[in-house]
Amino acid sequence: MDLRVNIGGLTLANPVGVASGTFGYGDEYAGLFDIDRLGALYTKAVTPEARAGNRTPRLADTPAGMLNSIGLANPGLDSFITDKLPALRQRRCAVIVNVAGTCPEEYQAVVERLETVEGLAGYEINISCPNVKAGGLALGTDLKLVESLTRRLRDCRQRPERPLIVKLSPNVTDIAEIARAAEAGGADAVSCINTLVGMVIDVQKQRPVLAMGTGGLSGPAIRPVGVACVYKVSRAVGIPIIGLGGIGCLDDALQYFLAGASAIQIGTALFRRPECALEILDGLAPWLEANHLSSVTEIKRLLKV
Amino acid sequence: MKRFDSTVTELQPVASDYFRITFQWPVTLPLPQPGCFLTVSAGSGFDPALRRPFAFSDVDPARGTAAFIFQRRGRGTAWLAERRPGDSLDVLGPLGAGFRAPPSGARPVLVAGGIGLGPMLFLARQLHQTAAAGRNEVPILVLGYRSASQAPSVDLPPGSVICTDDGMRGFHGSAVAYLDQLADALPPYYYACGPVAMMAAIDRLAAARAGQADWQAATEQWMACGVGACQGCVIPFKDGGFKRCCADGPVFNGRMVDWVGLQE
Ligand SMILES: Cc1cc2nc3c(=O)[nH]c(=O)nc-3n(C[C@H](O)[C@H](O)[C@H](O)COP(=O)(O)OP(=O)(O)OC[C@H]3O[C@@H](n4cnc5c(N)ncnc54)[C@H](O)[C@@H]3O)c2cc1C
Ligand SMILES: Cc1cc2nc3c(=O)[nH]c(=O)nc-3n(C[C@H](O)[C@H](O)[C@H](O)COP(=O)(O)O)c2cc1C
Ligand code: FES
C-alpha cells in the first residue's frame, strides 16, 4: 500500500509525524522505537537566540490531558545548526523545523539562515504558542499579521521545495479565517491545532499550579476541538491540512483524516506510549485495504455530513 | 532504556499509605543504579495522560526483579496501590543518571525525608557493600519523620538513625537538626532526597561547613516525557539556568540547585 502524501510539493513517506515540542530533536526517543519509520519529525521550536524557558512548575496533569508552559525553551539557531542538525540529518524521515520568534523579523532570521543549510524538509511556522508574552499567540490571532508574516517568509525562501506550513491556534474566534489568511499569504499547508489556553488551580494553596499561571492544554481532552478545527479549515482552504491534537490510536487519526487532514502529528500521547506513532502507522494500510481505498487522501471522501 | 510490560510480583505496605511494589526486571536490560528512576503508566487508556516517575529502591538480579517504594497521594499512586501479584505493569526505564561515589576519606551521610526513602535505602545498601570492599567509608542513613507511626517497617542497614519531630522514636528533632549536631572524626559528605524544605536546609548546612563544595541531591519535578525531550521537568539552578531533572539528573550537585526557586 502506498502511504505517501504530498504536502505542498514535499512527499512524505507516510502521513504520520511527531509533534513539535513533544519529541525534542529526535535522539531522545531513539532507544524506544524506530524513528526512521515516521513520515515526519517536527522539531522543538527554534528561535534566533537561545531561550531558557519559563519558571517552574511547567507541567500540570489534567483530565485526559496536560498543561504545559515550557516557554519555547531551545538552544537557539546557532546551536540548533551545529549541535542538533547533524544527527537530525541522518534521519530517514522528513525533518521539519518549527520556527518561532517574538516579531516577524525574528521568524525571517530563522528561515533565512536555515535556507542556507542542507538536510531539512520544510518549515512549520509557530504563530500559535500560548506560552510566550510577545509573538506566538498574538501573531496568530491577527488576520493581517498572519498574511503578511506568511508572505514575508515565502518571499525570503530560496528553496520552494521546502513547504511553509503555518501552525494555527484554536484560541481564536474563527480558525477558518486565519487559515484563509495564511493561504492568501502563500502558505503551502496549515497544521492545526496548537494547544488551548488552560489553567489549573491548586485549591489547597489557592494559586495556579503552573508558575506562569496559564499553559497550553494538550492530549486526548482536546481531540474533539482539533477534529472540528480541521473540519472547518478544510472547508475554507484548498491547501493541505496536517491534523493534530489528542491523537493516540488509529481511530483518533482516522477522525482527523475523515475531517479533511492529509497528514497527522502525534504529541502528548507519545509521553504515555512512545510507540503509539508506529502502531497508528501500521494500522493505516490494513484499514485502507479493508475500505477499498488506495491512499490516505481518499479517506476524507468517506465523511457523511 | 526500554518500555515494556512487566508483571507485579509483590505489593507490600511498609507504613501508613506507603507501599513497596516489586516487579519483574528483564535480565536483558541494564541493572538500575541508586538514584535512577522509571516511569509507570497508571490507569488505563490515556487517562491520566502522563506516566508517573519513581526512584528504584531495590534490584535483585538473581530473582530478576526491581522495586520502588511509593506514597499514595493521588489517582496514579492510588491505582498503583491496588496492583496485585500477577497484574501487569507498564514500565519505562531505567532513566536518569544516578549517584556518584563519595570522595575518599569522607563519611557518606544519607538523608531521606518522606518519599525519598526508596533511593536512599538503595544507595545505603550499595555503599555498605562497597565499604566492605574498602572502596569508601561506612555510610550513615538518616531518616526523618513527623511521628513514629510514619516510620516505615523496612529492613534498615546497620547504623541507621530515625529522627521524629515528636520525639517518640529515635532522635528528637528533624533529620537536619540531627546532622547539625552529628560529631564524627570524618568530614560528612551528604546525599539526600526529600521535601524541598529539607533539601534547602541541607544545602545551607553544607554551605556553612568548610570544604563542602559539593553534595548530591536527588531532585523531583513534574515530568511529561521522562526522556529529555519536552523540557517540562527542569530544575532551576543558582546561576539562573535550568537543567532537565529526567535527563540531566535527577541527581545534581545540591550546591548548584536553586532551592528557593524550586520551593516557590
Ligand atoms: C525522579 C522522581 C523520582 C520519584 N520517586 C518517587 C518515589 O520513589 N516514591 C514516591 O512515592 N514518589 C516518587 N516521586 C514522586 C511521584 O512521581 C509522585 O508522587 C506521583 O507522580 C504522584 O502521582 P499521583 O497520580 O498519585 O498524584 P497526583 O494526583 O498527580 O498528585 C498528587 C500530589 O502529588 C504531587 N506530585 C505529583 N507528581 C509529583 C512530582 N513529580 N514531583 C513532586 N510532586 C508531585 C502533586 O503536587 C500533588 O499534590 C518521584 C518523582 C520524580 C520526579
Ligand atoms: C510539552 C509541549 C511542548 C510543546 N512545544 C511546542 C513548540 O515548541 N512549538 C509548537 O508549535 N507546538 C508545541 N507544542 C504543541 C504541540 O505540538 C501540539 O500542537 C499540541 O500538543 C496538540 O497535540 P497533542 O494533543 O497530540 O499533544 C507543545 C506541546 C507540548 C505538550
Ligand atoms: S520530562 Fe520531558 S524533559 Fe524531562
Dump the DSSP string for B78-140: HHHHT--TT-EEEEEEEESB-PPPPPTTSEEEEEEEGGGHHHHHHHHHHHHHHHHTTSSPPPE
Do residues A99 and A37 touch, judged by C-beta distance below 8 A? no
Give the residue, by CA position, lying nearest to ligand 2 atom 7. A21
Q: Which of B5, B41, B50, B264 best tests the A interface by mutation, with the highest count of A CBs <10 A?
A: B50
Q: How many CB atoms lie within 10 A of CB B45?
A: 13
Run of H or E residues at B60: strand B52-60
Q: Is residue B57 part of a domain?
A: yes
Task: Find the mean pLDDT for residues A233-258.
Answer: 98
- By a Cβ cutoff of 8 Å, what residues of chain A touch chain B? 21-24, 28-29, 31-32, 44, 52-53, 55-66, 68, 70, 73, 211, 219-221, 248, 268-275
pLDDT digits (tens, 9 = 90+) for A12-39: 999 999 999 999 998 899 889 999 999 9
What CA–CA distance (Å, rounded) separates A167 from A125?
Answer: 6
Chain A contact for B49 (CB, 8 A cutoff): yes
Phi, psi angles (nearest 5°) of residue A252: -60, -45
Give the residue, by CA position, lying nearest to ligand 2 atom 18. A194
Domains of chain A plus CATH, in order, are: 5-53+70-197+216-302 (3.20.20.70)
pLDDT digits (tens, 9 = 90+) for A63-113: 999 999 999 999 999 999 999 999 999 999 999 999 999 889 999 999 999
Residues of A in contact with B52 (CB under 8 A): none
Ligand 1 mean position to A237 CA, how many Å?
A: 45
What interface predicted TM-score (ipTM) does this complex get? 0.93
Q: Is residue B255 part of a domain?
A: no
Q: Is residue B85 part of a domain?
A: yes
Angle between helices A250-259 and A276-290 (to 10 degrees): 60
How many domains does the structure of chain B reveal? 1
- For a ligand 1 pocket test, name from B23, B51, B73 the mutation site with the most ligand atoms within 8 angstroms of its C-beta: B73
Give the residue, by CA position, lying nearest to ligand 1 atom 53. B220
Q: What is the pLDDT of residue B263?
A: 82
Q: Is residue B137 part of a domain?
A: no
Q: What is the nearest CA distance from A100 to chain B, expressed in angstroms?
A: 16
Q: Is residue B235 part of a domain?
A: no
CATH number of the domain that residue B32 is part of: 2.40.30.10
- The pTM (predicted TM-score) of the whole model is 0.95
pLDDT above 90: percentage of residues in chain A: 91
Cα of first residue to Cα of last residue in chain B, in angstroms, is 32
Ligand nearest to the CA of A47: 2
Whole-number average pLDDT of chain A: 94
Q: What HEC string does B229-248 produce?
A: CCCCCEEEECCCCEEECCCC
Three-class secondary structure of residue A59 per DSSP: strand
Q: Is residue B252 part of a domain?
A: no
Angle between helices A223-234 and A175-184 (to 10 degrees): 50
pLDDT digits (tens, 9 = 90+) for A129-177: 665 555 555 677 889 999 999 999 999 999 999 999 999 999 999 999 9
B136's grid cell: 569508601
In chain B, which stretches have pLDDT less than 70? 210-211
B49·A65 Cβ contact <8 A: yes
B232·A269 Cβ contact <8 A: no
Q: What is the pLDDT of residue A1?
A: 86
Which residue in chain B has the smallest CA separation from A64?
B47
pLDDT digits (tens, 9 = 90+) for A231-244: 999 999 999 999 99
Q: Is residue B178 part of a domain?
A: no
A63·B50 Cβ contact <8 A: no
Run of H or E residues at A182: helix A175-184
Q: What is the nearest CA distance from A156 to chain B, expressed in angstroms?
A: 30
Residues of B in contact with A32 (CB under 8 A): 1-3, 92, 227
Q: Which of A200, A271, A273 best tests the B interface by mutation, with the highest count of B CBs <10 A?
A: A271
Ligand 1 mean position to B252 CA, how many Å?
A: 18
Give the residue, by CA position, lying nearest to ligand 2 atom 29. A21
Q: What is the pLDDT of residue A137?
A: 59
Q: How many CB atoms lie within 10 A of CB A34?
A: 11
What CA–CA distance (Å, rounded) separates B123 from B138?
Answer: 12
CA A263 to chain centre: 11
What CA–CA distance (Å, rounded) separates A252 from A19?
Answer: 15
Q: State which residues form the domain around B57.
A: 2-95
Do residues A166 and A127 touch, judged by C-beta distance below 8 A? yes
Q: Is residue B8 part of a domain?
A: yes
pLDDT digits (tens, 9 = 90+) for B203-243: 999 988 756 789 999 999 999 999 999 999 999 999 999 99
Q: Which of B225, B245, B252 best tests the A interface by mutation, with the highest count of A CBs <10 A?
A: B225
A273·B224 Cβ contact <8 A: no
